């Protein structure tokens, strides 16, 4: 490798390292009570950090002087050793975000552990027979016959979560699913550039930029997400309301209250109350249209902002929500039934202010609550 190319690659690695360290510090400091997917993301950052050091060492190629051959050989060995770790962790991250369940996640872990072990054995064999690569007496790196296979397998593993998100990503907000899918694009572009333009080591750098984008999205989402239920929080609700009002078009809002939430907390404990809130959010997500905003409005209240612009369609949506809660309550496996009071209203631009609209919505919800109590009596 020429001295100019060496300096370019090292400079890129240094810039990437600075970005990665900043992202890692920010990710660790975010929250002491991190979710499983957040922990996996941090492991990805650490793995890429090691890969950056390995990539920097592998740049000392083409010069047999001093300790350069040791750096070159060590760097390339570590790159090929760690390369499968990132796609594997990325797949586990996607599986965790999709809440596939412990059994399926464990199955995926076994698959990627096997993938890592096979790669390790092939890497060891490459030190003797040059299957992946070999470094000659002049300290020059050469691709082996299985190098393209190695790159192709990594691309396929990166694409696996994309397929998973495409087929099972309906439970996630569209923006979230799209951001996770887009995470795979930059590393694939980096691998393609590295294959086509021999001597340019950019895959790890593209990984860093991809992780930076993912981190920025996670930070933005965390500001708008209720930690317990995973749906929007009051901030997201306020932003959505402002955006709909600014658009100057009719829209609808649905306000929901869990009638028996206090009794659940008193009788079964706060953990059962948390489970009830999570289940209610899950049912609501399955009841509304794609693109509708669901947010936790208060302790046991939820609010839905939807683009529905007429009462008839809005009533159908409310009826669908009631039916889905009834199905849940009628399920023999349901231990704690969930009862709802619902208020709903179409917003007509220019006729009422946002505060008046929310006040009317609240009044309708309490009207439904009192009506339900009378029926019970």
pLDDT of residue 43: 87
pLDDT of residue 118: 94
Neighbours of 217 (CB within 10 A): 17
pLDDT at 172 over 80: no
Note the pTM of the prediction, 2 decimals: 0.67
Higher pLDDT, 152 or 260: 152
Give dist(CA 254, CA 237) in Å, integer. Answer: 12
Per-residue pLDDT band for 99 (boundaries 50, 70, 90) equals low
Buried b (16+ CB within 10 A) or exposed e, 89-113: bbbbbbbbbbebeeeebeebeeebe
CATH fold of 3-224 reads Rhopdopsin 7-helix transmembrane proteins (1.20.1070)
pLDDT at 258 over 70: yes
pLDDT of residue 264: 84
Give dist(CA 338, CA 260) in Å, integer. Answer: 7
pLDDT of residue 267: 82
∠ CA 127-130-136, rounded to 5°: 85
DSSP string of 76-131, one letter each residue: HHHHHHHTTHHHHHHHHHHHHHTT--HHHHHHHHHHHHHHHHHHHHHHHHHHHH-S
pLDDT at 182 over 60: yes
Q: Tens digit of pLDDT for each residue in 133-156?
A: 999 888 888 899 999 999 888 888
Domain extents for the chain? 3-224, 234-376
For the chain, report the end-to-end CA distance as a whole number of angstroms: 85
Q: Tens digit of pLDDT for each residue in 31-50?
A: 555 667 778 888 888 999 99
Give the strand pairing for 251-258 and 141-143: unpaired
Q: Tens digit of pLDDT for each residue in 60-98?
A: 887 767 788 888 899 999 999 998 888 888 888 877 777
- For the chain, the average pLDDT equals 84
Give the side-chain half-sphere CA count within 13 A for 302: 31
Percent of the chain with pLDDT over 70: 91
Residue the block writes with tokens 């007496």: 137
Average pLDDT over residues 278-296: 88
Write the burial class of residue 211 (CB in 10 Å: 0-12 exposed, 13-18 middle, 19+ buried). buried
pLDDT of residue 168: 66
In 3-state terms, what secondary structure has residue 135? strand
Per-residue pLDDT band for 349 (boundaries 50, 70, 90) equals confident
pLDDT at 254 over 60: yes
Q: Tens digit of pLDDT for each residue in 191-227?
A: 888 888 776 778 888 888 888 888 887 777 777 788 7
pLDDT of residue 174: 65
Is residue 231 within 8 Å of 296, Cβ to Cβ? yes
Higher pLDDT, 322 or 37: 322
User: What does the chain come to in residues?
Assistant: 377
Give domain 234-376's CATH number out of 3.30.499.10, 2.40.10.480, 3.30.70.20, 3.30.70.270. 3.30.70.270
Percent of the chain with pLDDT over 90: 23
Per-residue pLDDT band for 248 (boundaries 50, 70, 90) equals confident
pLDDT of residue 120: 95
**Distance from CA of residue 35 to its chain's centroid?**
11
Higher pLDDT, 124 or 333: 124
pLDDT at 376 over 60: no
pLDDT of residue 100: 63
Per-residue pLDDT band for 310 (boundaries 50, 70, 90) equals very high
pLDDT at 377 over 60: no
∠ CA 47-203-66, rounded to 5°: 80
Long-range contacts of 287-292 (CB under 8 A, 24+ apart): 287/317, 287/320, 287/321, 287/324, 288/317, 288/321, 289/317, 290/170, 290/174, 291/174
pLDDT at 129 over 90: yes
Give dist(CA 332, CA 329) in Å, integer. Answer: 8
Give dist(CA 244, CA 249) in Å, integer. Answer: 7
């Amino acid at each position: 490798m020429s001295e100019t190319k060496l300096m370019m690659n090292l400079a890129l690695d240094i810039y990437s390292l600075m970005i990665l360290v900043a992202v890692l510090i920010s990710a660790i400091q975010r929250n002491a009570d991190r979710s499983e997917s957040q922990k996996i993301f941090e492991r990805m950052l650490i793995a890429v950090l090691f890969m950056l050091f390995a990539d920097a060492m592998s740049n000392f190629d083409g010069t047999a002087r001093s300790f350069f051959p040791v750096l070159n050989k060590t760097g390339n060995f570590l790159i090929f050793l760690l390369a499968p770790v990132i796609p594997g962790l990325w797949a586990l991250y996607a599986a965790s975000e999709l809440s596939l369940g412990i059994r399926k996640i464990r199955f995926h872990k076994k698959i990627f552990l096997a993938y890592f072990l096979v790669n390790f054995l092939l890497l060891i064999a490459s030190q003797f027979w040059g299957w992946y690569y070999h470094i000659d007496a002049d300290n020059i790196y050469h691709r082996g016959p299985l190098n393209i296979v190695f790159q192709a397998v990594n691309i396929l593993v990166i694409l696996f979560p994309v397929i998973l998100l495409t087929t099972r990503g309906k439970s996630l907000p569209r923006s979230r699913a799209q951001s996770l899918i887009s995470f795979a694009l930059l590393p694939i572009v980096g691998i393609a550039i590295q294959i086509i333009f021999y001597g340019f080591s950019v895959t790890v750098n593209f990984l860093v930029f991809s992780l930076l984008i993912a981190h920025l999205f996670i930070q933005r989402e965390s500001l708008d997400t209720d930690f317990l239920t995973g749906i929007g929080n009051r901030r997201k609700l306020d932003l959505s309301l402002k955006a709909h009002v600014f658009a100057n078009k009719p829209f609808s809002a649905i306000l929901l209250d869990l009638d028996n939430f206090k009794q659940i907390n008193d009788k079964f404990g706060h953990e059962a109350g948390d489970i009830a809130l999570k289940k209610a959010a899950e049912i609501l997500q399955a009841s509304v249209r794609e693109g509708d905003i669901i947010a936790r409005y208060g302790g046991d209240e939820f609010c839905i902002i939807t683009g529905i612009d007429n009462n008839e369609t809005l009533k159908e949506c409310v009826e669908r929500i009631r039916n889905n809660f009834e199905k849940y309550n009628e399920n023999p496996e349901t231990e704690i039934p969930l009862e709802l009071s619902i208020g709903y209203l179409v917003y007509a631009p220019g006729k009422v202010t946002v505060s008046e609209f929310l006040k009317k919505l609240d009044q309708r919800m309490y009207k439904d609550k009192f009506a339900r109590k009378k029926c019970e009596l």
